[in-house]
Amino acid sequence: MTTNFYFLLVIGALVGVVSGLLGSLMILKRMSLVGDALSHVALPGIAVALMVGINPMFGAFVALLVAVLGIWYLEKTSDIYPEALVGLFFTTSLAIGILITPEPELFEALFGSIEKISTLDGVVIVLSSLVIFTVIRLIWQKLILDVVSPDLARVGGIKMTRVNLLFLLMVGLAVALGVKFLGTLLTGALVIIPAIAARNISQNLSAYRVWSMVFGALSAVVGIVLGFWLTLPVGPLVVLVGVGLFFLTLLYRKL
Partner 1 sequence: MAEKTILTVSDLIFEAQGKSILDKISFTLSDDETLAVIGPNGAGKTVLVKCLLGLLPYKGSVIWNKNVKVGYVPQKLYVEKNMPLTVAEFLAFKEKKLAKVEETLVKVGFGGRKNLLKDKLGVLSGGELQRVLIAYALLGEPNVLIFDEPTSGVDVVGEGTIYSLLHKLRAEKHLAIIFISHELHVVNQYADTVFCLNKEKVCYGVPHHAINEDVLTKLYGEKVSFYEHKHHDY
Contact criterion met (CB below 8 Å) for 204 and 250: no
**Between 138 and 207, whose beta carbon lies closer to partner 1?**
207
Question: Among residues 17, 28, 68, 163, which is the contact residue for partner 1, using CB under 8 A?
Answer: 28
b/e per residue 165-194 (b: at least 16 CB within 10 A): bbbbbbbbbbbbbbbbbbbbbbbbbbbbbb
Look at the chain and count its residues: 255
Contact criterion met (CB below 8 Å) for 38 and 175: yes
Query: How far apart are alpha carbons 38 and 10 in whole angstroms?
Result: 25
Kindly identify the residues of this chain, within the stretch 146-205, that bind partner 1 according to CB under 8 A.
Answer: 147-149, 151-152, 154-155, 199, 202-205
Question: Among residues 66, 145, 248, 250, which is the contact residue for partner 1, using CB under 8 A?
Answer: 145
Question: Among residues 79, 206, 231, 255, which is the contact residue for partner 1, using CB under 8 A?
Answer: 206
Interface map 207-246 toward partner 1 (x if CB under 8 A) = xx--------------------------------------
Nearest distance in Å: CB 195, partner 1: 10
Alpha carbon separation from 18 to 21, 74, 101, 255 (Å, rounded): 5, 25, 27, 30
**Between 123 and 207, whose beta carbon lies closer to partner 1?**
207
Query: How far apart are alpha carbons 134 and 50 in whole angstroms?
Result: 31
> Helix 119-148 crosses helix 160-201 at what angle (to 10 degrees)?
90
According to the binding rule CB under 8 A, does residue 255 interact with partner 1?
no
Binding residues for partner 1, rule: CB under 8 A, are 28, 141, 144-145, 147-149, 151-152, 154-155, 199, 202-208
